[in-house]
């Protein structure tokens, strides 16, 4: 006999009372992300069919070409999040500065800010490889009813109230946490509903997968080089394997299920690292910690890093607890 799986909608309603702030607004916010994810999923799935591939012509704040789907996903998430009276500000990888919502309306009680990487792994779009969306949610710290300020976005990761990602892969999944563990929902495309398929996700304490762009090897800090050599040389005792998709969301997702570590350290080419603290690293770090994993820059816990700017980059080491601790040991011993 098959048991009826819970839908994401049902799960959100049932778990609303366990949210740290149980006013129902955060539930509605997650709901709107669910909706935008479905719309973006539909478009991502069509990418090979319609003339949506290629570069939209703009260059984003990081100096990278924007793919059309980046622009599309950015618009859809912003539209969906703006419509309901929940969010007072949005920061996105695709926007130079943050967006203020309803600042003119004195009655506006919107409490939440959302930081988002609307389409992660965009270089993989035109080769039919998994991409994703990453989001991070905070309560504003400035008074409600006033225009949102930069400080509302520059909060430490440890202040997040929710974070999650969508992976548009062989199946589309939405994985998120509100600080009470991590749950994964798989989209049934025939019905258009997400079903709870991965309850209470946990990183295995140890793993044998390391994910890093080894093309940058010569550029890496000595501690990271030594760790990679350790993974390769320990093969007799504990066979490690290398897997790197180049979409953080997908690499992270695989590592969480199978046990592994993702690394994007700084180096001379990326003096502060490549990944963005506020809408890539912090949300992933929150999910990792909620799933018994760990995340740091090699020394300091990711969620303890004090943000100074919206598009800040950091070194990122995230995954199975024992593996991240091993990297930290190597960083302490060998450093840069």
Of the candidate spans 30-38, 115-123, 258-266, 283-291, the one that interacts with Mn ion by CB under 5 A turns out to be: 115-123
Cβ 237 to ligand AHG shortest distance, Å: 28
Instruction: List CB contacts of 143: < 8 A, sequence separation 6 or more.
Output: none
Distance CA 67, CA 126 (A): 9
Interaction of residue 103 with ligand AHG, rule CB under 6 A: no
Using CB under 6 A, which of 246, 292, 307, 334 touches ligand AHG? 246
Residue 31 or residue 213: which is nearer to ligand AHG going by CB?
213
**Between 260 and 299, how does the x/- string for binding to ligand AHG read (CB under 6 A)?**
--------------x-------------------------
Distance CA 274, CA 276 (A): 7
Interaction of residue 120 with ligand AHG, rule CB under 6 A: yes
**Between 80 and 109, how does the x/- string for binding to Mn ion read (CB under 5 A)?**
-------------x----------------
Interaction of residue 302 with ligand AHG, rule CB under 6 A: no
Using CB under 6 A, which of 121, 260, 267, 273 touches ligand AHG? 121
173-204 CB burial, b ≥16 within 10 A, e <16: bbbbbbeeebbbbbbeeeeebbbbbbeebbbb
Give the CA dihedral 86, 92, 94, 95, nearest 10 degrees.
80
The 3-class secondary structure across 121-153, one letter per residue, is CHHHHHHCCCEEEEEEEEECCCCCCCCCCHHHH
Closest residue to bound Mn ion by CB: 120
Asked if residue 104 lies in contact with residue 110, where contact means CB atoms within 8 angstroms, the answer is no
Give the position of tokens 């006999």.
1
Cβ 93 to ligand AHG shortest distance, Å: 6
Asked if residue 314 lies in contact with residue 208, where contact means CB atoms within 8 angstroms, the answer is no
Residue 139 or residue 254: which is nearer to ligand AHG going by CB?
254
- Report the first-to-last Cα separation within the chain, whole angstroms: 57
Distance CA 122, CA 82 (A): 24
Cβ 62 to ligand AHG shortest distance, Å: 7
Of the candidate spans 22-30, 229-237, 244-252, 294-302, the one that interacts with ligand AHG by CB under 6 A turns out to be: 244-252
Angle at 255 between CA 157 and CA 300, to 5 degrees: 35
Interaction of residue 117 with Mn ion, rule CB under 5 A: yes
Instruction: List CB contacts of 267: < 8 A, sequence separation 6 or more.
Output: 216, 219, 220, 221
Cβ 211 to ligand AHG shortest distance, Å: 8
Both tokens of residue 142? Answer: 């400035």
Is 268 strand, coil or helix? coil
**Between 83 and 102, how does the x/- string for binding to ligand AHG read (CB under 6 A)?**
----------x---------
**Between 210 and 239, how does the x/- string for binding to ligand AHG read (CB under 6 A)?**
---x--------------------------
Residue 12 or residue 248: which is nearer to ligand AHG going by CB?
248
Interaction of residue 117 with ligand AHG, rule CB under 6 A: yes
Q: Which residues are annotated as a binding site for substrate?
A: 120-123, 213, 244, 274
Contact residues toward ligand AHG (CB under 6 A) are 93, 117, 120-122, 213, 246-248, 274
């Amino acid at each position: 006999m098959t048991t009826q799986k819970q839908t994401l909608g049902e799960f959100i309603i049932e778990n609303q009372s366990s949210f740290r702030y149980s006013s129902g607004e955060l539930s509605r916010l997650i709901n709107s992300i669910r909706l935008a994810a479905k719309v973006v999923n539909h478009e991502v799935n069509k990418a090979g069919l319609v003339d949506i591939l290629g570069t939209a012509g703009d260059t984003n704040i990081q100096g990278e070409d924007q793919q059309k789907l980046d622009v599309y996903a950015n618009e859809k998430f912003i539209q969906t999040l703006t419509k309901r009276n929940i969010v007072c500000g949005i920061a996105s990888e695709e926007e130079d500065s943050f967006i203020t919502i309803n600042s003119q309306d004195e009655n506006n009680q919107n409490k939440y800010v959302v930081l988002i990487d609307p389409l992660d792994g965009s270089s993989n779009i035109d080769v039919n490889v998994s991409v994703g969306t990453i989001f991070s949610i905070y309560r504003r710290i400035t008074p409600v009813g006033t225009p949102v300020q930069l400080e509302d976005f520059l909060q430490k990761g440890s202040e997040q109230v929710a974070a999650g990602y969508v992976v548009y892969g062989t199946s589309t999944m939405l994985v998120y946490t509100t600080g009470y563990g991590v749950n994964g929902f798989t989209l049934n495309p025939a019905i258009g509903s997400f079903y709870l398929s991965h309850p209470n996700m946990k990183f295995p304490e140890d793993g044998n997968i390391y994910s890093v762009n080894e093309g940058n090897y010569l550029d890496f800090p000595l501690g990271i080089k030594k760790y990679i050599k350790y993974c390769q040389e320990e093969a007799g005792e504990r066979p490690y394997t290398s897997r790197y998709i180049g979409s953080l969301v997908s690499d992270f997702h695989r590592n969480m299920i199978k046990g592994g570590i993702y690394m994007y350290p700084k180096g001379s080419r990326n003096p502060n690292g490549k990944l963005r603290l506020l809408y890539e690293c912090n949300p992933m770090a929150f999910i990792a910690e909620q799933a018994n994993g760990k995340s740091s820059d090699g020394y300091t816990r990711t969620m303890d890093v004090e943000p100074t700017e919206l598009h800040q980059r950091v070194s990122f080491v995230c995954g199975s607890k024992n593996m991240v601790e091993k990297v930290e040991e190597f960083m302490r011993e060998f450093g840069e």
